[in-house]
Structures are given as structure tokens and as C-alpha cells.
Amino acid sequence: MTNTKQEQNYNNKVTEIVRVKQVISERPVAYETTITSSVLAKQLGIKEIGDEAQEVLLVVALSTKNQINAIHRVFTGSINQSVAHPREIFRSALLNNAARILIYHNHPSGDVYHRKLISSLQKNYLK
């Protein structure tokens, strides 16, 4: 079996990830609430992205006691489209030591029946 030159070069290289950097900024509102119900989770999502003019994908990283470790805007899209890959969601969760995550997505157009988009997002995240 013969390898191409590109495959040989790839096989001879070792890549090391030296550092993954996260820039932290303090939020003006302190979140000392423990998320104990879906009602509180819903209120948090509405407070964070409920009035946005663009589509936003938000990840809330929770501790083992459901306390908020971090809130991260994974992606801000256009008025009718938000595209984020699952790796961005999980990177945020890992960098913030999340035991659990909440994922929020808004619909500024008011049309919450984007069945095709929602279905494809769910399939992507469940892989």
C-alpha cells in the first residue's frame, strides 16, 4: 500500500494543543438563582434573549447544583437564521466546567414554527 506525499507529511507531524483561551467579562446582573424548574429556566431565557432583533443561540452552563457558571452567546445570526455547530456549544460547556447546559434559541420574527430548522438542529445536537 502506497501513501501519498500529503499522507506521509501528515503522519510525521504531531500537533499539540497548548492553550484554549477564554475571555471572561463580568455581567452587570448577578445570577445567584439556582435553576430549580423549567419555569425559572424559561424566565432566564426570556430575560437574556427575549427581545433580541436577531436570532441568538445562547448556552447557560450549570454546576452540579444547577447554579449558573456562565452564560455564553454562542452565535448571533440574522433576522431569520442562526447557524451554530454543536462543537461551539460543547466548547462553551467544557470551558465553563458545566455539569449541565441549557440551550436557548429565539425567534425574533415571531414565527416559532420553523419545523425544518428546529428538526435539523435537534438531529445535529443529538449525534
| Pair 74, 57: CB distance under 8 Å | yes
**pLDDT at position 75, please?**
85
**pLDDT at position 99, please?**
96
Q: What is the mean pLDDT of residues 1-22?
A: 62
Q: 31 Cβ partners below 8 Å, 6+ apart?
A: 44, 68, 71
Nearest CA among 100, 104, 47, 96 for reference residue 75: 104
| Pair 92, 61: CB distance under 8 Å | yes
pLDDT, tens digit, 9 for 90 and up, residues 62-115: 999 999 988 888 888 776 666 778 888 888 899 889 999 999 988 777 776 655
Tell me: pLDDT of 57 over 80: yes
Q: Is the pTM of this model over 0.85?
A: no
